Chains A and B, each alone.
Chain A
């Protein structure tokens, strides 16, 4: 079966750092992506990890541990505009994206 878990909601303060975790159990694995989705809009691509380790892209970093079935998205220097849902998605062996339920992040001033 396919199971991708993320916390439902998180809150943080402007300027802070927040880490959004994702654990997965899937029948196949060909990489993991993170997407940002503002309410009522389509997701936008943030990162893709297929090898273990940390990938840094500006204020956003993504980490993957394949042996643990675990990933996290790290957001630094939080801004109000970062308030959104963050979706973890696993690419399976059939090249399909399986999305987690998403984490709704609220950034407060």
Chain B
């Protein structure tokens, strides 16, 4: 149980285009979903926290207009990287928590590797 999927697993795009990444909880309802970014040989950096039906909360330094997050249902959150640039190339990982009270139990998706040319 507690499986989280991400789609696509990897994407290559041209500079200036937008890319949408989906995160789904397959066998549980995710009240809270988190989006992380990980650069090579670095740790995960939290970008934003989203709760179903409300606006995402972004971490300091993360541009909300560039990284659009939508958590429209209890099983799906999407991250759209708008007008992507090479510096946005990274490993994007989502995680889902079944409850606001138990966010220590975060189940991670397999990640999406984004390469912007």
Chain A residues with CB under 8 Å of chain B are 30-31, 33, 35, 40-45, 48, 50, 87, 91, 95-102
Residues of B within 8 A of A35 (CB): 108
Q: Which residue of the partner chain, among A30, A42, A101, contacts B109 with CB atoms under 8 Å?
A: A42
B62 interface residue (CB < 8 Å to A):
no
Residues of B within 8 A of A87 (CB): 43-44
B8 interface residue (CB < 8 Å to A):
no
Report the separation of the CA atoms of residues A97 and B108 in the bound assembly, to the nearest whole angstrom.
12
By secondary structure, the A interface counts as loop
For B91-117 the 0/1 string (1 means CB < 8 A from A) is: 101000000100111111111010000
B49 interface residue (CB < 8 Å to A):
yes
Minimal Cβ-Cβ distance residue in A for B108: A42
For residue A81, give the distance in angstroms from its CB to the closest CB of chain B: 18
The answer to whether A42 and B93 touch (CB under 8 A), given A33-B104, A91-B103, A97-B103, is: yes
For B57-93 the 0/1 string (1 means CB < 8 A from A) is: 0000000000000000000000000000000000101
Residues of B within 8 A of A96 (CB): 34, 46, 49, 103
Residues of A within 8 A of B43 (CB): 87, 99-102
Report the separation of the CA atoms of residues A100 and B103 in the bound assembly, to the nearest whole angstrom.
17
Minimal Cβ-Cβ distance residue in B for A85: B43
B42 interface residue (CB < 8 Å to A):
yes
For residue A26, give the distance in angstroms from its CB to the closest CB of chain B: 13
Residues of A within 8 A of B91 (CB): 40
Minimal Cβ-Cβ distance residue in B for A8: B41
For residue A22, give the distance in angstroms from its CB to the closest CB of chain B: 12
Question: A48 to B108, Cβ gap below 8 A?
Answer: no
Question: B111 to A45, Cβ gap below 8 A?
Answer: no
Residues of A within 8 A of B108 (CB): 35, 42-45
For residue A68, give the distance in angstroms from its CB to the closest CB of chain B: 20
Report the separation of the CA atoms of residues A33 and B44 in the bound assembly, to the nearest whole angstrom.
14
For residue A91, give the distance in angstroms from its CB to the closest CB of chain B: 5
8 Å CB contacts to A: which residues of B15-72?
34, 42-46, 49
Q: Which residue of the partner chain, among A31, A42, A100, contacts B104 with CB atoms under 8 Å?
A: A31
Residues of B within 8 A of A50 (CB): 104
